[in-house]
Amino acid sequence: LMSKFAHTREELDFDLYVKEGDAPIEPAYDPKCDLITNGCEPVAIISADKLRDYDEGPAETAAIAEVLMNDARTGKYVIAKEAWDCIWE
16 vs 86: CA distance, rounded Å: 32
Using a cut of 0.95, tell me whether the model's pTM lies above it. no
Structure confidence by residue, pLDDT tens digits, 3-25: 556 777 778 777 777 777 777 77
Structure confidence by residue, pLDDT tens digits, 20-39: 777 777 777 777 777 776 66
Give the other-Cβ count within 10 Å of 27's Cβ: 5
